[in-house]
Amino acid sequence: MPICWPYTLFYLSIHIVVFFVINKRLVAGRLYIPNKNLTNQTVIVTGAASGIGRVTALELAKQQARVIVGIRGQERAEHVAQQLSKESHGNVIGYHLDLSDLASVKVFAEKIDKVDILINNAGVNKKHKELTNDGLESTFGTNHIGHFYLTQLLLPLLIQSNGRIVNVSSIMHILANENIDFSKTNAYNTMLVYAESKLANILHIVELQRRYGGRGIKTYSLHPGFIRSTELTRERTLLQAILMILFAISSKTIAQGAITTLYCALSDEAQPGKYHSNCRVAQPSLTAYNSKKAQELWELTSHSKQSFDEVIKFRCYFDIKEENIDNKGNFTLPFVLRCLDLLLVQGSNVRASDTQLLDLKI
């Protein structure tokens, strides 16, 4: 019996359309429509210039919150804030925030007088190894350490308001080694380093809840879904580009990707200390809920945090250039000694142990 190609193509087309419609509905996940009056509440969203961060800020401004967006470049931050204010008919303020620059994080935090919800949304995924201004590996330094420092600086205000802290993580965290040692450095692999930083986001939330849950703080981590069009995908490798094409069939829109963030920020159904996906609690990797690993990461980062202000002071006196960094990515000993010597002369309370920051994830 001969094949009737017009009818075959027609039925094939129908099946493809139906498949895509059903698939997109399943990918969209559980629907959550924010409907809260956030008058007199202040929300901070990092990385809100585009992508799910921008949508998150816009929706919160529509709920009458005072939204502060942290974006690199003061002029750019103000421009985005003006656009969001106009679109939402709300109150959005833009401040410069570069999470790869600890001095910038501190200046940003000093401008905040009140915060009810902190959404640590910003993220980077560097194709090649780069160092931040403070000598830290850029992806981990931005995604985890920058947000950790910001959160610590704002904790007194968050405790005062019984606030929420939301870390935007990723399902990519499952690629991190289950026996990961955050104090050690391995050969640079862009996907692995990103995965480790996203695992750190979850562990940060777990330990925050354990330490401060009794003081009114509520913390949440989440996977927003696979978002094809975000700033995060600007620096992708060939393998990542191929994977993006394959995963495009299961990708969410930017608006759909922001829904779980809004759910964690606003819903009473979201569970503190837990990892969420598609507006419900999800199961992360076993390491993500490892309390010992969470405490180890906290102590490592917290101990280093004591040195953050001193490292910022280093940069006030020295321009950190290539010659001040050895072939392993560490600050050279002469450079560190010069910095410590100058700081001691200036009356700083620097301790020799403070230099341990220079070994963290470099």
**Residue percentage of the chain with pLDDT more than 90:** 57
Contact 237, 185 (CB under 8 A): no
Enumerate domains of the chain plus CATH numbers: 32-296 (3.40.50.720), 305-359 (no CATH)
**Radius of gyration of the chain from its Cα atoms, rounded to whole angstroms:** 22
pLDDT confidence tier of residue 32, bands split at 50, 70 and 90:
confident
Residue among 89, 33, 101 nearest 65 (CA): 89
pLDDT of 308: 56
- Which residues, listed in sequence order, are joined to residue 93 by a DSSP beta bridge? 68
> In which region does residue 247 sit, left (phi positive, over 0), alpha (psi from -120 to 50) or beta (all else)?
alpha
Phi, psi at 95, each rounded to 5°: -125, 150
pLDDT of 187: 81
Contact 108, 97 (CB under 8 A): yes
pLDDT confidence tier of residue 316, bands split at 50, 70 and 90:
very low
pLDDT of 31: 75
Residue among 155, 169, 144, 154 nearest 274 (CA): 169
pLDDT confidence tier of residue 120, bands split at 50, 70 and 90:
very high
Residue 362 vs residue 271, higher pLDDT: 271
Q: Alpha-carbon distance 101 to 72, whole Å?
A: 10
pLDDT tens column, 159-174: 999 999 999 999 999 9
42 SS3 class? strand
113, pLDDT greater than 90: yes
347, pLDDT greater than 50: no
pLDDT tens column, 189-211: 889 999 999 999 999 999 999 99
pLDDT tens column, 212-237: 999 999 999 999 998 765 555 455 56
pLDDT of 301: 87
Residue among 255, 344, 310, 298 nearest 58 (CA): 255
pLDDT confidence tier of residue 22, bands split at 50, 70 and 90:
very low
Q: Alpha-carbon distance 49 to 150, whole Å?
A: 18
- Opening angle at CA 352, ends 349 and 357, nearest 5: 95
234 SS3 class? coil
Q: Which residues are catalytic?
A: 194
Q: Report the side by side order of strands in the sheet with 42-46.
A: 91-96, 66-71, 42-46, 117-120, 164-168, 218-223, 275-277, 280-281
Q: Output the six-digit token pair for 205.
A: 């939330």
Q: Which residue has the tokens 């409907």?
A: 35
58, pLDDT greater than 60: yes
117-120/91-96 β-pairing:
unpaired
